[in-house]
Structure 1
Amino acid sequence: MIARGGRRTLLLMLGLAGLAACSDADERNYADAEASSGSAASENLDALAVETGALPDTAQIDPSGRYGRRYEGGSDSLCVVPDGSARGRYRFGAETRIGGEEYCRGTGHARLSADKLLLRFDGAGSECMIVARYEGDKIVMPGGLDLHCAALCSSRGSFSGVAFPRLDRDVATARGTRDARGQPLCR
């Protein structure tokens, strides 16, 4: 038998536990609703920004050109040129260097699909395919890459997360892009 004061304490504790359970369920439902509406709102905001010209319509901007940057201890280079077979089909070459020893390098075929640039490498990395984000003024590699892409890199090199800012849109200049050894990166 529970003493009178103990019963009150027990009832109070059970009531508080029930409120906490309701609060947790409400919080989860709110978070789920917020996430789904946030995604739709983000897409609507992006569409409005493209419509007003605040963001470029990447589907209308040809990715051909030269991309890259130099920074203390390294450099990133990427060139994209039309392959001549069909609209939206390209050849590309990419190289990233970190110091003198670490690097990734590869060439292949690319295809533009909305705001994505699908990069399929040739040669040693032929199993490597990267779906990069194309933003009109830069190309951004994803943070996680297929394990087959390691064949393109030295032991600690990686294309993972590399952003290539656009340097120019000239196809002739892109074809003349050279890697760190002076070899043509795009043909």
Structure 2
Amino acid sequence: MLGDSITAGYGLPPGQGIVAQLQAALVAAGRPVRILDAGVSGDTTAGGLARIDWALAENPQAAIVALGGNDGLRALPPAASRANLAGILDKLAARRIPTLLAGMIAPPNLGADYGREFAAIFTALAAQRPGMLFYPFLLEGVAGIAALNQPDGIHPNQAGVRVMVERLSPVTQTLLDQLRP
């Protein structure tokens, strides 16, 4: 799971982040998987592109790409974010690694135009890659809900991670179904 602080479990006790909890849910569902935590707090899509080769050195059988949140928080140009994500997805496709792209939404304080352009990054990339799985918003059901977030209002707490795992598990199961025997 290539991502940022959300993936890295920022502010959560060890074993309580999305990677560990999603892995536990999948194992409990009879899917004996090991999810590699390739999350780096503060990372942008450019950082993810710079370290995708490191993640690929682990020879993953599938990938979840969950980057873009920091690009939006920093109001980085959507065209640059899109190019970085496309580079990541192209490297995964070249290795024939089944991929799930988890989208992100820009904060509303950046304006409606930026928000639309930012959201379009993910939908356009997904539309250009038939067969790639797409989960439109990684923080669906969690963002903006105080009880599901840490005091910073950005990072999910343990209850928020549980919601994320419940929502992400079905599409992750579909991703695992795409693995080559």
| Larger fraction in helix | 2
Fold similarity call, TM over 0.5: no
Higher gyration radius (CA): 1
TM tier, shorter chain? Answer: under 0.3
TM-score with structure 1 setting the length: 0.25
TM-score with structure 2 setting the length: 0.26
